[in-house]
Chains A and B, each alone.
Chain A
Amino acid sequence: MTRVVIDCRRLLCPMPVIRVQDRAAAMRPGDELEAVCTDPGALNDIPAWCRINGHAVVEVRSAGGEHVVVLRVAGG
């Protein structure tokens, strides 16, 4: 399993979703992708994007004006 962190700080929605989408497309099932964002909209948008694409959200946390969403890329 690979874990990749992408920096989406200062990007406004939907750019963080686009970054996650494009990065996830190049990952393998079971890999984890962590997006570090400052737009609180990402807390809704990235999980919504995960739901419609079947990826699992494994962690969501916010601290110090930063919002982190970790997802596991769907299998097969």
Chain B
Amino acid sequence: MPDARRKAAALVSGGLDSMLAVRVIQDQGIRVEGLNFYTGFCVEGHTQAIRRQDQAKEKRNNALWVAEQLGIRLHIIDVVDAYKDVLLSPAHGYGANLNPCLDCKIFMVAKAREWIEAHDFDFLISGEVVGQRPMSQRKDTLPVVQAESGIGDLLLRPLSARRLPPTRPEREGWVDRERLHDFHGRSRKPQMALAAHYGIVDYAQPAGGCCFLTNEQYAVKLADLWRSRGERRYELDDIILLKIGRHIRPAPHYKVIVAREEGEGNFLHGYRKQYWSLRPLSHVGPYALIDGTPSPADVEWAAQIVARYSKGRDAPLVTVVAQDRDGAERELVVRPLAPAEIPAEWML
């Protein structure tokens, strides 16, 4: 009989695997609470919240939603600052883009270990499946996560447990190993079957990964940010802005961020005290920010770019209001650039 006095914390991403892992352990009568780490790069919410065309759609935070379906408490932990070291110098390197998945996993498990120690929980579970992801979920990297995070054999992966050496919760009989699973590889069929078994029909299916660092276009913009600054550093605002608008870099010392629709424009407007901003006056057109240290000529050039995305793109001249960080405004009358005058390399 499993030991119902034991308490487990679970890494809850909002995807199906962590949802199933929790269900399997709950099935053994064990109390589970969820932990969700917010790095700033999580796919959750952001762009949905910003883009107007999505505003009619119901928005939900998948981790919260999953916790509610499972009837567990969820603790969302802000690791934005601590995560910088992980991303900037991952000991195990990056995956296909700027995703430091193995270091990321080690970091999150280490944070979860601190949490279970502080809150008197017995062990940790995760929805990892052996062989499912190329970097962090290989049979040879799972033990690395255990060793380097310091969690040791208190980390149980209920979906793959029977393919892995017994952990302490199994050895001591806190959970019944026979009722855990032996999933492996990239096929999602066993997960879908288990979901059906539990009557779970609605779940998020993140494509590729849980964060923007696996996204090629995003990684290009992040690498550009570092290159242009001459150093690898970022603030939360920087990485959020990378998710919004068209990013156009005419020169290393500045780039223009042009809203693609009204919702993005409203959001960018909130940054007008931190950045130069531009908005067309004579014609309907997008709100834009200039990130960097533009000269007066650069501001004018940026205004020509913004004019190109306004309804006045075919007009001979467009008036654009430029505002500096102190709120001082000036009107610029500019010729909209032709699409051919914006080289492809400028578009990040």
Contacts and interface: CB of A to CB of B under 8 A. Distances in A.
Interface of A: 10, 12-15, 17-18, 21, 38-41, 44-45, 48-49, 51-53, 65
Given A13-B44, A65-B266, A52 B38 contact: no
Q: Name, among A10, A12, A44, the residue most crowded by chain B CB atoms within 10 Å (CB to CB).
A: A12
Contacts of A52: 64, 67-68, 71-74
B76 interface: yes
Contacts of B68: 48, 51-52
**Main SS of chain B's interface residues?**
mixed
Contacts of B58: 44
Interface residues of B, number: 30
Contact of B45 (A14, A18, A38, A65): A14
Nearest to B270: A10
Contacts of A49: 64, 74, 76
B18 to A, nearest CB: 15
**Main SS of chain A's interface residues?**
helix
Given A12-B45, A12-B46, A52-B67, A17 B76 contact: yes
Interface of B: 36, 38, 42, 44-46, 48-50, 55, 58-61, 63-65, 67-68, 71-78, 240, 266, 270
B133 to A, nearest CB: 23
A76 B59 CA distance: 31
B119 to A, nearest CB: 12
A21 to B, nearest CB: 6
21 contacts: A12-B45, A13-B49, A13-B61, A14-B38, A17-B61, A21-B75, A38-B270, A39-B45, A40-B55, A41-B49, A41-B61, A44-B59, A44-B61, A45-B61, A45-B64, A48-B61, A49-B64, A51-B68, A52-B64, A52-B68, A52-B72
